[in-house]
Structure 1
Amino acid sequence: MDFQTIKSTLPQDIPFLMVDKVLHRVYRQEIVCLKNISGNDWVFLGHFPKRSVFPGVLIIEAMAQSSILLFTEPEATEERLYYLTSTKVRFLHPVMPGDQLKITISVIRDSSIGAIVKAEAEVEEKVVAKGELSFAVQ
């Protein structure tokens, strides 16, 4: 899935798109996405000016958006909204400008009213964040 398809599929828009590319996807089972971290990103204006670190909350947002892409068909005519209801994420290493965040999402539980997924983010094969996310579907 390329950036244009991602942009037309996700309910978020620039500058809040946190997925640049989908590398692998098995609908409603597993997805692997990329987020390129650039020193030009707006978040680095204040987080932190002397030593830029990509905010953990935006890593969670990238995981959530990757999850939405896992459960949404790009050609779908019916709009279903996925609301993040809970997170349990640990941050293991900082993410810096120049890093490429690889996000892997796999389904733990899936139903018509929501889902629970396992999420893992890596930089150069080193896990930087991992945990579980829960969603409600409207």
Structure 2
Amino acid sequence: MNLENSTQPLAPAREFSVLLTSTPRGAHLARFLAAEWLRTWGLLPGVIDTAEHLVAELAANAVTHGRLPGRDFRLALHATADMLRIEVTDTRGDDLPRCGPPSPDAVSGRGLILVEAFADRWGVDIGPVPRKTVWTEIDLLPAEAR
């Protein structure tokens, strides 16, 4: 048996990155652009829906909590054969996200709870100063295939 012919090369990694204004319109555009790029990459509709929700929450947080006048935020998507990574970078590295239950009468504050529910993993990378990147990962293969 020739093992060289029996293995298939991994699908190439796909990447997309864009700077957007730190406004509600920029957050909306982030969600729209992410969905369009993920469709062109041929990801399953369920993955695209999940990714849209994650991008919406991370972009809304960047616009609400990471905004400095005149500074944009960056949306980056990285897809491999087994994982999709979503990154949103803003210029408020001093204001880290906090995940906790909001007060019952609060009208906001549930975004990271949703991120935690939709993503397989999420976290925050600090730097370079003054930036922070909030990232999420979605597994594209079932656990037994990984």
TM category (shorter chain) comes to 0.3 to 0.5
Higher fraction of strand: 1
TM-score norm. by structure 2 comes to 0.31
Give 1 or 2 for the bigger CA radius of gyration: 2
Higher fraction of helix: 2
TM-score norm. by structure 1 comes to 0.32
